Every structure is written in structure tokens, then in C-alpha cells.
Amino acid sequence: MLTAAQVAQFNTDGYVVMDDILPALVLENVWAEYSDLMDGLYARWQAEGRVPSGADLDFWAKLSAAYAAGCDWFQPMDISLPGGEITPDCPMHFGPAIFDLVMHARILDLAEALIGSELTLNPIQHVRIKPPTPDLHADEVRAHITRTDWHQDRAVGLEKADSTDMVTVWVAVTDATVENGCLQVIPGIDAGILPHCPQVQTAIAPSHLDISRAVPLPVKAGGVVLFHPLVPHASLPNTSDGFRWSFDLRFNKTGQNTGRDHFPDFVARSRHAPETELRDWHVWRDGWFDARKRLATTPHIPIHRWASDAPYCA
């Protein structure tokens, strides 16, 4: 699926944009699964008197009303545990439609072309459903909701994964445009891991980045952006009047550290031992449920290495 020129671009500039990767049916099934999830969440919040009637509201209108009312739909829709404290009942979402997206053969083919045939589904994975910027609460800092600060994917894992062969597959569920907050990148990976600081989010220290070189990366729904773990990237603000929806997926070479090894990982593809591949979405879900049960009763494990008092953060 990737040409030699695209592989070279990935290994030099650190990114590749590709349209028309996922079939429409895969996205339609994800829409249906998440619509059912939203309906259930909204009905519960309405019964609690927290949101207005949802009888005439579609998926997007329910998201807007819930966000305005302070009802958190992000974590119940995410495909990961949070990086902060974990409770025994912390919500997550794992279902057959999102599993089919994550494990789609065309997604795995792209990852295989870049890091080889022994692929592990890395646990650093998220849904991002971003409302228009004017609708955001003034104190909103979550990267999955508001614009994402400049960072490198290598740097948001822990040090033990600094040598891991990894690729991020950023999947567009809706069209990602400059207006609604598509990703942007500063081409190049030769600088290595840049210093990061706890800012609005964990982000590259300002003095280490020339944002005048930023390149926006619009992509159609069903397309993907492939990221090398060292390429600096961020998102633009969503200045449109609609939501922008994507998934962040990561794959690493099997046997190498994931950068977040207190969360579960799974073999996504193996040419040498296909019997080890994850085939059942229930196993994916149950692995995360088991991790939640374990982590809810143990001391918190930080997911970032960066300290705010470092000299480059001054």
C-alpha cells in the first residue's frame, strides 16, 4: 500500500497522509456503535436531570448539550484508561465496530510496511471528538477535546520505550480540515527527542521549535495520517461550527516496550506466529477491564517523564 517514495518520506519527514484507507462500511458501523453509546449516556443524564430532552437531538446535538451541561462523554467513549488516577468503575468503550477499525487489514498493512510484520497494538490509543473552539469551557485543557499542543509521540511515552520501533496511525472519522482543526506537522525527525514541559498539556518547550515551518495535514474521512514517533505535530483549533472526530492508534514491533507497560498490549499481526494474533474484541475489552481492576488498587503510575522545574521550561 505504501510506495517506496512514501516510505522514504516517512523516514525523512516523519509523516505520510493517505486518503481512502478504510471502507465506508467500517466507518458507518463505528458511527452506529457510538450513536448507541451516546443514546445510553444521554438517557441516563436526562433521567438525572442534567441535560434537556434528547427526543429531537441527533448524535452531535447530544454531544453539544452534554458538554455544555458538564457531562463527560470523552472518557466513556475512549479506548483507553486515563493517565491520571483510575477508579474501579472508570468508563471506557470497547466494541466490535471499533475493534474492526483498529484491526482492519489495511491499517495493519500500513504499519507493517513501516515497522515490519510482527505488530503489537500499543496501549497509547485514544478517541478524539473535538467540539468547535467557541463552545469549549474556558478551563478545558484535555488534548482529546481542545487543540493538541506541539509534541512528539516518543516523548509522551516513558523512557524505556525510547528505542521502540513504533508508528502512529491517526484515523479520520470525519473530514479533517484546516477549519475544523486538522493536524499540523514540522517535517523532520533528525533532532531526536526534544525537551517537553507540562504546559496546557505536555508539550515541546517553546524555544526548541520553529512553528513557522508548520505544515497543515487535511485528510478525508476514512483516510489516515502516519506519524514517526519523533516528528513534532499538533492540531489546529476547531474554528468551524461542527465537531472533528478521529482515533489515535499506535503499533510497535512485538517484543519491544510500549512506553506504557502498565496498560495492556496485544499482538495485532504476526507472520511468524499467527495463532498469537488478537481475533476477539471481547479479549481486547477484558484485557483493559483487568488492567482497570488492578490499577485501581495500586499506587498511581505517572505516564510522563517531564518536570515543570527543568531549566528549559523556565
- The DSSP code sequence of 75-135 is HHH-SS--SS---TT------HHHHHHHT-HHHHHHHHHHH-S-EEE-S--EEEEE--GGG
Instruction: Check: CB of residue 281 under 8 Å from CB of residue 95.
Output: yes
Of the pLDDT bands very low, low, confident and very high (cuts 50, 70, 90), residue 294 is: very high
Contacts of 226 (CB under 8 A, 6+ apart): 10, 15, 16, 17, 18, 110, 114, 167, 168, 169, 170
What mean pLDDT is predicted for residues 43-53?
97
Q: What distance in Å separates the CA atoms of residue 247 and residue 266, rounded to the nearest whole number?
A: 18
- Report the candidate in 188, 148, 139 with the shortest Cα–Cα distance to residue 170: 148
What mean pLDDT is predicted for residues 39-65?
97
Superfamily of segment(s) 4-313: q2cbj1_9rhob like domain (2.60.120.620)
- Strand-pairing partners, residue 167, are 251
Could you report the per-residue pLDDT of 142-156, keeping only the tens digit for each? 888 888 999 999 998
How confident is the model at residue 1, as a pLDDT? 79
Contacts of 282 (CB under 8 A, 6+ apart): none
Does residue 305 surpass a pLDDT of 90?
no
How confident is the model at residue 206, as a pLDDT? 81
Nine-digit cell string for 294: 488492578
Domain ranges, ordered by start, for the chain: 4-313
Does residue 245 surpass a pLDDT of 70?
yes
Q: What distance in Å separates the CA atoms of residue 258 and residue 89, rounded to the nearest whole number?
A: 25
Instruction: Specify the residue for cell string 478524539.
Output: 128
Of the pLDDT bands very low, low, confident and very high (cuts 50, 70, 90), residue 184 is: very high
Does residue 29 surpass a pLDDT of 80?
yes
Could you report the per-residue pLDDT of 84-114, keeping only the tens digit for each? 999 999 999 999 999 999 999 999 999 999 9
Mean per-residue pLDDT over the chain, rounded: 95
Instruction: Check: CB of residue 223 under 8 Å from CB of residue 177.
Output: no
% pLDDT > 70, the chain: 100
Tell me the pTM.
Answer: 0.96
From the CB of residue 77, how many other CB atoms can be counted at a distance below 10 Å? Answer: 22
